[in-house]
A and B are shown apart, each in its own frame.
Chain A
Amino acid sequence: MAPWRARPGWGLGGAAVLLAAALVLAGRRHGFGVPDYAQFVVDGLQAGAIYALVALGFVVVYRVTGVINFAQGAFVMLGPMLTITFLGASTTVSAPRLAASALAAVAATGALGVVVYRLALHPARGALLLTKIMITVGVYLVLQGTALLAWGPRPYVLPAFATLEMRDRSVLVGDVLIRAQSLWIWGTTAACLALLALFFERTLTGKAMRACAVNRLAAQLAGIRVDTMATLAFGLAAVLGAVAGIVVGPVTRPTFDMGLEVGLKGFVAAIMGGLVRFQGAIAGALILGVLETLWAGVTLAGFKDLFAFVVLVVLLLARPHGFAGAEAEAERP
């Protein structure tokens, strides 16, 4: 195996740096200055942080069960939708009420993740991996359709966390605009990453989940309930998705079909990071967010989404044997 394959991170990082440099050069013809590029990077990091939270959900489920969970996007949509429902119709929002609604929404979505596993995937645990992946696609469609029935097709508004109203607070640093919600997004992503690291490194349950990822049979022989761990993984992924949806809620306008796009972007980010490592997924997500925004800024922005999917196709072509790279921790059933 060629050396760059053994360390996929280097190849990916190098390619990203080269691409970024090319994009910065291409932007010169529009007369962009440093503030413009800084703004692109800030915006890109905001998008990237959201992709990261979604990607973490993919990684958790993939590591423990080997399934790529395409229902992840639906969890992202349910987060803000449930929060808005719990907030109720009152015009003024208080901080405790928003926090309580958000927590309730996260808990409800997490519980739903568990239910999804027990009802849809557990009965098919002996089936082929591809079957399970198709089941998750079906789960996504069911959840999206139910959301359409429950909330209708119209967009909703989740207040910004800093101001508790639609209009967010923002500051100009130099000539770069930073919104308060961006800080919330970065903070939440960092906190989630830290908590995940603690959970997987320090708790027995976390270690048991990792054991399932390394070798399912051995884990079972060691007395770990693999099935319980898989259930837990789905619950955790749903929680991560809901959190991602809630923090991005004020930046977008939640609709019943918002999950597909952000779910696919998170998937691309997870693949960029190798699909098994949390740090890889986070790096992949941030790189994707920044490059995508730079790309959209200097070329025609209409091709923004094209970028992510070209990356996806190139990655799949470059590593047809699987996404996990040379240091795959996960066992492929």
Chain B
Amino acid sequence: MKRYRFVLVLVAIAAGAALVPAGPWAWASMPYRIGFIASVTGPGASLGVPERDVARMLQERLTVQRGVVGPDRARHDVEILIFDDQSSADVAAGLARRLIHDERVTVLVAGTLSGPSLAMVPIATEGRTPMISMASARSIIEDPATKRMRPWIFKPVPENLHSAQAQADYLQAVGARRVCHLYENTAYGKDTFQSAEAVYGKAGIAIAYGDAFERTATEFPQVARVRASGCQAVVIGSIPPAASLINVAVRERLPAVRIVHGHGACSPDLIKTAGQAAEGTVMPCGKILVADQLPADDPTRALNLRFVSDYQRYTGGAPISTFAGHAYDALQWALAALRTLPDRQPLERQRELVREALETKLGSIRGTHGVFKLSPDDHLGFDYRDFVFVTVKGGKFLVLPKDQWK
């Protein structure tokens, strides 16, 4: 018997190895670190808190799955280092520097707001570290002076320009040629206005009156100007609760006017804080908001449904947030790029390879807001037709298909 024991042990080992799933077949190698910076406090908190929750949720999932597996079967634990930039550009810049030089992260997923994101752009570029922002401004990925992509910076977040294109399609379809544009007095609001100015003219839509309002205002003298201007539609470039307050004010004086929001209003907060006045308003939104109403053949439907249910289970029923979707997309890009890395690369090389992977290797990536097609000329890869038009009916967001635009 003694001579067979050796064989039996070998057989037992082989059987054991065959029983375990394929994942652990990979061997453990060095861990990867992702630096994650969101605005968890300060004015951006309503965006940054869901984003941070997504980062925590994915960290838990990665711990259970034991990280990512590279092309050569090397398994890497992934650590997401989560920091709060307090909605401040200064703090964000300091954190980015620390993550790149001291914490030695391979990739940054950083920036809830455009201001802090822009502050981190030169630091990531100088530190030759890929950065994926969760904010919307075009200038984060594109140098406004040269109109060229910034090589190290990416973002999975649609811009106001896309929103304006979708709005222009809608306004054309319903025959609104003369519109008013009211926007909140912030970088976001001004960008919605500039985008509308740039897009509407080409679509034959005139902005008869455009003006800003304060996020904290309780009365809106702008409505008098809207009444005087005879607009067929009022476009609002704002985020709740400010978007709700102006919506209520416009609806109060002009019960019949068409109200079109931007994608910043795509949040259950709009319905919660505008109530009855939100009924009948329309807006272009990311698909995540109406995942369960998407057609069965929509390429993002399954992904969105799964993410929404995971997110709600993790947060104990938090409302769906498009910002959570942005964080999810940004982290998925980072993880997808990390999965392409060959084993045992020095940090500098890892960073270069992640950058190259994002630009060239990932191809079409399904995300919460659409199918992104990244390329060296487009670090966003979003098609404005991936926005869905929704309307508010009975206190819910409903998809408004093109044939029902009237």
Which positions 236-265 of chain B face chain A at CB distance < 8 Å?
240-241, 244-245, 252-253
* Complex CA–CA separation, A235 to B153 (angstroms): 52
Which positions 264-313 of chain A face chain B at CB distance < 8 Å?
293-294, 296-297, 300-302, 304-305
Known: A32-B228, A155-B273, A302-B212. A50 touches B218 (CB 8 A): yes
Contact A257 B241 (CB under 8 A): no
Q: A143 an interface residue at 8 Å Cβ cutoff?
A: no
Q: A145 an interface residue at 8 Å Cβ cutoff?
A: yes
Contact A253 B216 (CB under 8 A): no
Contact B224 A39 (CB under 8 A): yes
Q: A40 an interface residue at 8 Å Cβ cutoff?
A: yes
* Interface hub of B214, B219, B253, B272 (most chain A Cβ within 10 A): B219
Q: A22 an interface residue at 8 Å Cβ cutoff?
A: no
CB of A133, distance to nearest CB on chain B (Å): 23
Contact B245 A253 (CB under 8 A): yes
| Interface 9-mer from A41-49, A96-104, A315-323 | A41-49
Contact B225 A40 (CB under 8 A): no
Known: A170-B252, A253-B245. A301 touches B212 (CB 8 A): yes
Contact B214 A304 (CB under 8 A): yes
Pick the residue among B46, B220, B224, B272 that contacts A153 (CB under 8 A). Answer: B46
Count contacts on A: residues with CB < 8 A to the other chain.
42
- Name the A residues within 8 Å of B41 (CB-CB): 145, 148
The secondary-structure label for the interface of chain B is: helix
Pick the residue among A46, A155, A248, A297 that contacts B224 (CB under 8 A). Answer: A297
Known: A166-B275, A177-B252. A300 touches B212 (CB 8 A): yes
CB of B131, distance to nearest CB on chain A (Å): 24
Q: B211 an interface residue at 8 Å Cβ cutoff?
A: yes
Count contacts on B: residues with CB < 8 A to the other chain.
33
Q: B188 an interface residue at 8 Å Cβ cutoff?
A: no
Known: A154-B46, A301-B211, A301-B212. A253 touches B241 (CB 8 A): yes
* Interface hub of A30, A166, A262 (most chain B Cβ within 10 A): A166
CB of A202, distance to nearest CB on chain B (Å): 34
Contact B49 A301 (CB under 8 A): no
CB of A98, distance to nearest CB on chain B (Å): 17
- Name the A residues within 8 Å of B224 (CB-CB): 32, 36, 39-40, 297
Q: A31 an interface residue at 8 Å Cβ cutoff?
A: yes
| A31: nearest chain-B partner, CB-CB | B228
Q: B295 an interface residue at 8 Å Cβ cutoff?
A: no
Which positions 108-164 of chain A face chain B at CB distance < 8 Å?
145, 148, 152-155, 157
* Complex CA–CA separation, A256 to B41 (angstroms): 11
30 A-B pairs with C-beta separation under 8 A: A30-B225, A32-B224, A32-B228, A39-B221, A40-B224, A44-B219, A46-B218, A50-B218, A152-B45, A152-B46, A153-B46, A153-B49, A154-B269, A155-B240, A155-B244, A155-B269, A165-B275, A167-B277, A170-B252, A177-B253, A252-B241, A253-B244, A293-B219, A296-B221, A300-B211, A302-B185, A302-B211, A304-B217, A305-B185, A305-B214
Sorted from nearest, which 3 A-B pairs have the closest CB atoms? A302-B212, A297-B221, A153-B45
If A39-B224, A301-B221 are given as contacts, then 4 extra A-B residue pairs at C-beta distance below 8 Å, sorted by A number, are A152-B49, A155-B241, A294-B221, A304-B213
